[in-house]
Amino acid sequence: MNNWIDKELAEVSERGERRKLEAWPALGPYLERDGAHILNLAGNDYLGLTANPNVRGAAAEAAQSLGTGATASRLLTGTSEIHAQLEETLAAWKGHPAALSFSSGYLAALGIIPLLVGRDDLIVADRFCHACLLDGARMSGATLVRFHHNDMEDAKKRLHKRGDYSRCLIVAESIYSMDGDLAPLSELLALAKEHDAFLLVDEAHALGVTGARGAGCTADFPEASQNLITLGAMGKSLGAAGGFITGSNQLRDLMINRARTFIFDTALPRPRWQRPSPR
């Protein structure tokens, strides 16, 4: 019955793509293995916050006072004051009207894209977009076309059929995770305005290290309440876990009511976001 699994694994091995999990004694900006102290350049903990004593102390304090889990989805009993404080803080940090948190950046992508577009709509995405963005695009049922990486002329060509579709979504990352290069956000935003499209920007690798207040490349963009929507991940430079979307207040309200990965998912655990006590 499981012969097909062996066949799939054999094909993966033949392509030289067979992977395995390797456990480390402790995770963070530095790793220990066989007595060696290793700088971790394979992770996303850019600021070393996972090892910061204040961050660890706040998490431990929150676990003691609030427990270890949210117990339910946000629409049942899973929303706490901590969630509200987190989202207000994220929106203010980004300089955008509103924010909504998800259990991961991946779930944020899978929640927002099918909400914005469907079968009668068009998605135009950079070829280097992360897998979560492409998976969200495929789940939406919208027509997906991809333009050459950071090539605005090619993006314009892909948008020439915009009029054939009800809604249109342009998808890009602000800083691309594999190459580390930046997207031409001003040009992409201009294209979104010209074609009456949404622009979804994945800021996962920009948060904490670029922009005003370290809030990413789209910090303080005044267009946030109109064409621009951003995706953030809290499991990278912020040293924790979770994802979030920023956009208009109306979009936040719609996500609460229609985003399936928000509605049907147990809420982000509260202790990870407890504010530190004054020390």
For residue 271, the model assigns a pLDDT of 54
CA distances from 248 to 10, 109, 132, 198 (A): 48, 17, 22, 12
Structure pTM? 0.93
Q: How confident is the model at residue 277 (pLDDT cuts 50, 70, 90)?
A: very low
Q: 279 pLDDT exceeds 60?
A: no
Comparing CA positions, the residue from 135, 258, 129 lying closest to residue 199 is 129
Instruction: Tell me what the pLDDT averaged over the chain comes to.
Output: 92
What CATH number labels 72-273?
A: 3.40.640.10
Intra-chain end-to-end CA distance of the chain, in Å: 60
- For 88-116, the pLDDT digits (tens) are 999 999 999 999 999 999 999 999 999 99
- For 56-89, the pLDDT digits (tens) are 888 888 888 888 888 899 999 999 888 999 999 9
The C-alpha atoms of residue 241 and residue 243 are separated, in whole angstroms, by 7
Backbone angles phi, psi at 193, to 5 degrees: -65, -45
* Active-site residue set: 44, 130, 173, 177, 202, 205, 236
Pairing assessment for the beta strands 228-233 and 243-247 based on DSSP bridges: antiparallel
> For the chain, how many helices (H) and strands (E)?
9, 9
Angle between helices 249-258 and 105-116 (to 10 degrees): 100
- For 223-247, the pLDDT digits (tens) are 766 899 999 999 999 988 999 999 9
Structure tokens at 247: 């956009």
For residue 269, the model assigns a pLDDT of 84
